[in-house]
Structure 1
Amino acid sequence: MISLAKEGALWVVSLNRPEKANSLTAAMLEELCEIVESAGEARVLVLTGEGKVFSAGADLDEARAGLATSPLWERLSGSLAGFQGLSIAALNGTLAGGAMGMALACDMRLAVPSAKFFYPVMKLGFLPQPSDPARMSALIGPARTKLVLMGGQKIVAEEALAFGLVDRIVEPGALMEHTREIAADVLAAKPEIISGIKRMI
């Protein structure tokens, strides 16, 4: 349910459970963690999904059984935040719930025009993952973060771009091509230059 394509130093990780809106199970989260933690030889790490939804968040059955509060979510976002290369969330569709954390931890987010963004933890009776509110607030500000996390608002792609939640809107057929275009200079650079620029930013 997780696909990994290695194109030299470009690693493309795809959520591949489109029949369930790429909802995430504990096994999928564990595999994602292991991939990111082993990605030291990659210079660019891309997260994307199959189908028309990036991820609906936690698999509902597993969420009820405890996945909603699993430390795996935080382990994954922490690993992504610590990645020394460039991480890109190429959002092929809607991003919801706990899956927001992995996108927030990436260096940049590209989204298709049909994408929507929501994180209905308050309605479901859970706290968000520990680092997610701070990362979201750093991107879009405290009030807009409360709009999403407390107001339960569903944000469309154009609004997400205006807020700063995503960095660019790209047509579906051009999403991976544009991602590779952004990656090109990083793939050609020395690792110490890549990590050095990230530290300076």
Structure 2
Amino acid sequence: MIALEKDGPLWTVRLDRPAKANSLTRAMLADLVAIAEQAGGAAKALILTGEGRVFSAGADLDEARAGLATDPVWELLSGTLARLPCLTIAALNGTLAGGAFGMALACDIRLAVPDAKFFYPVMKLGFLPQPSDPTRLTALIGPARAKLILMSGVKLTAQQALTYGLIDEITDPAGLLPRARALCEDASAADASHVAAIKRMI
């Protein structure tokens, strides 16, 4: 349910469970961690996207009830992605919800389609967000807007997310992956150490 396409130093990772809104099982999260760990020494750019009309609805409901909602694998994934020396882009093909926020927040750049929605209903569900998510969210959009999402349960449109700084561009669905790949061209053509050095400086 996780598909990986390698085009030389450009890796595209796709959540491929559209019938379940790309909701994430522990096995899928473990696969994503393993791919991210491999990318650290092999990829110069990595695109994370989903199949269908939703990027991810967060945790699989059955597994969430069995403990996945608070499993440390979420934080392991976002931390592994955040530490990658390569350029990382979240190409959000649709709605981003719940625990799936972590992997998108950990990426360097976020693109989204016009009808995407953004919400993280931890207050309503009685869970805490992943430990690093509030910090990364606040760095992007500020503390008050982070509280709107995490404490007031606000659901953002793509345009609001762009205005807030949660995403960097709104892109037509047909052009989403081509745009993400175009943004990876310079990094893919550069020396891996040069990519890593610029990312460290930023």
Q: Please state how far the C-alpha of 1:30 moved relative to its aligned partner.
A: 0.5
Match for 2:30: what amino acid? E
For 1:193 and 1:61, the matched residues in 2 are separated by: 44
- Kindly provide the CA deviation profile for residues 41-99 of structure 1, in whole angstroms up to 9, marking residues without a partner as x: 10001100000000000001100000000000000000000000000000000000000
- Kindly provide the CA deviation profile for residues 126-169 of structure 1, in whole angstroms up to 9, marking residues without a partner as x: 00000000000000000000000000000000000000000000
Where in structure 1 do 4 or more consecutive aligned residues deviate above 3 Å? Answer: none
Query: Unaligned stretches of 5+ in structure 1?
Result: none
Aligned counterpart, 1:9: 9
Aligned counterpart, 1:27: 27
SS at match of 2:184: helix
Aligned counterpart, 1:76: 77
Q: Please state how far the C-alpha of 1:192 moved relative to its aligned partner.
A: 1.5
Query: Percent identity between the aligned chains?
Result: 66
Give runs of aligned pairs for residues 40-189 of structure 1, distance below 5 A.
40-189=41-190
- Kindly provide the CA deviation profile for residues 169-196 of structure 1, in whole angstroms up to 9, marking residues without a partner as x: 0000000110111000001111111111
SS at match of 1:45: strand
For 1:194 and 1:14, the matched residues in 2 are separated by: 23
Q: Please state how far the C-alpha of 1:113 moved relative to its aligned partner.
A: 0.2
SS at match of 2:14: strand
For 1:165 and 1:10, the matched residues in 2 are separated by: 24
For 2:38 and 2:192, the matched residues in 1 are separated by: 16
Match for 1:7: what amino acid? D
For 1:33 and 1:196, the matched residues in 2 are separated by: 23
Match for 1:198: what amino acid? K
Aligned Cα RMSD in Å? 0.4
Match for 1:24: what amino acid? L
For 1:38 and 1:139, the matched residues in 2 are separated by: 27
For 1:191 and 1:9, the matched residues in 2 are separated by: 9
For 1:180 and 1:34, the matched residues in 2 are separated by: 22
For 1:192 and 1:31, the matched residues in 2 are separated by: 26
For 1:193 and 1:36, the matched residues in 2 are separated by: 19
Aligned counterpart, 2:37: 37
For 2:20 and 2:179, the matched residues in 1 are separated by: 27
Query: Unaligned stretches of 5+ in structure 2?
Result: none
SS at match of 1:106: coil
For 1:49 and 1:3, the matched residues in 2 are separated by: 9
Match for 1:9: what amino acid? P
For 2:19 and 2:7, the matched residues in 1 are separated by: 27
Match for 1:35: what amino acid? I
